[in-house]
């Protein structure tokens, strides 16, 4: 369950129980220079130097509209902006693109367009609807790069818990042609250039922790009774050597999604030759607090999206 802390020390406790790629159109654009290093600020409201664009439709499945909220610098650089796509947590059956948007406005202040997306929850549709919606959002941003002043070759993705799983899944399936869905923008790639996963599950073939019932709702059945479905829905199934860099953060006291899940993800990535870093947050459960956590994420994306 999401739980708020004082404004300057916001705790993101997300989860209800709580490539290098380029667009299919256009020539490669140079990466922007990193902004002058400025301290990351955790805001309690949208600051004046940030523009907040709500309810941008990025796809449609049948009559179901899919939307994102965008925050970006109010005064844009002459160079195209790198992008961070945020995927909210909530056990795949709750949560919102509105959650903690004020906190994330700090990324717009340091030079990013930040897109917080929605996806169909497991109460509405089973796997793989959630990953299809996530990848549709990436394609939309790449297709609309000119409209939003963004660099289509510098898109990162980040999520926490259920959202961490979806971010990681998008990261390892950008080259597969799978799970693209029918939401729109089929002429564009869903590849990302960097992935940050906060305490998301990665391997359903040996699911443990307190989130098993949520996994069953996501899959539409027990991962223990249907091993092939569990394998198909596991991030680790799709890892190959051409996956983008990963930054994984996980608390060592997490009982909802155990640290072992991130260790499996990290070991599998490293075994395939993928650049990966696992940062264990000592004493943390399913979530952690502090500006240092956001600074670590910002540093990771700066290295890979401003390079």
DSSP code per residue over 110-170: TT-EEEEE----TTT--TTHHHHHHHHHHHHHHHTHHHHTEEEEEEEEEEETHHHHHHHHH
Cα angle: 33, vertex 34, 40; to 5 degrees: 155
- Please tell me the predicted confidence (pLDDT) of residue 27: 54
More confident residue, 4 or 300: 300
Phi, psi of 209 (to 5 degrees): 85, -175
Q: Does position 91 have pLDDT exceeding 90, yes or no?
A: yes
Work out the mean pLDDT of the chain and round it to a whole number.
89
Give the model confidence (pLDDT) of 20-57 as tens digits. 333 444 555 665 555 557 788 889 999 999 999 999 99
Q: Is residue 231 packed enough to be buried (19+ CB in 10 Å), middle (13-18) or exposed (0-12)?
A: middle
**Other CB atoms closer than 10 Å to residue 54's CB: what's the count?**
13
Say if residues 196 and 157 touch (Cβ distance below 8 Å): yes
Task: Give pLDDT, residue 207.
Answer: 65
Model confidence pLDDT, tens digit, residues 133-144: 999 999 999 999
Beta-bridged to residue 65, according to DSSP, are: 60
Residue 37 confidence (pLDDT): 74
Instruction: Identify the pLDDT of residue 40.
Output: 84
Average pLDDT (275-297) is 92
The answer to whether residue 124 scores a pLDDT higher than 60 is yes
Structure tokens at 31: 């990466």
């Amino acid at each position: 369950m999401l739980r708020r802390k004082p404004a300057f020390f916001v705790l993101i406790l997300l989860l209800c129980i709580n490539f290098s790629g380029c667009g299919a159109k256009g020539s490669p654009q140079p990466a922007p220079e990193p902004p002058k290093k400025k301290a990351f600020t955790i805001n309690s409201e949208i600051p004046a130097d940030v523009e907040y664009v709500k309810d941008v439709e990025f796809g449609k499945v049948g009559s179901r509209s899919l939307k994102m909220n965008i925050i970006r610098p109010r005064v844009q650089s002459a160079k195209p902006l790198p992008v961070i796509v945020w995927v909210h947590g909530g056990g795949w059956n709750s949560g919102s693109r509105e959650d903690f948007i004020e906190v994330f406005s700090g990324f717009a202040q340091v030079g990013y367009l930040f897109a917080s997306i929605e996806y169909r929850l497991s109460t509405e549709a089973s796997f793989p609807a959630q990953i299809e919606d996530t990848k549709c959002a990436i394609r939309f941003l790449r297709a609309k790069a000119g409209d939003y002043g963004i660099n289509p070759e510098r898109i990162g993705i980040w999520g926490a818990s259920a959202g961490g799983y979806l971010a990681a899944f998008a990261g390892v399936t950008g080259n597969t042609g799978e799970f693209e869905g029918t939401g729109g923008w089929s002429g564009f790639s869903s590849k990302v250039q960097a992935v940050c996963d906060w305490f998301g599950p990665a391997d359903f073939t040996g699911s443990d922790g307190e989130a098993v019932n949520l996994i069953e709702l996501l899959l539409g059945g027990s991962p223990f009774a249907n091993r092939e479905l569990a394998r198909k829905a596991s991030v680790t199934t799709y890892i190959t050597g051409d996956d983008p860099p990963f930054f994984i953060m996980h608390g060592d006291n997490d009982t909802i999604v155990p640290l072992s899940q991130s260790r499996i993800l990290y070991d599998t990535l490293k075994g395939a030759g993928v650049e990966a870093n696992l940062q264990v947050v000592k004493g943390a459960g399913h979530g952690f607090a502090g500006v240092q956590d956001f600074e670590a994420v910002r540093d990771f994306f700066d290295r890979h999206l401003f390079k």
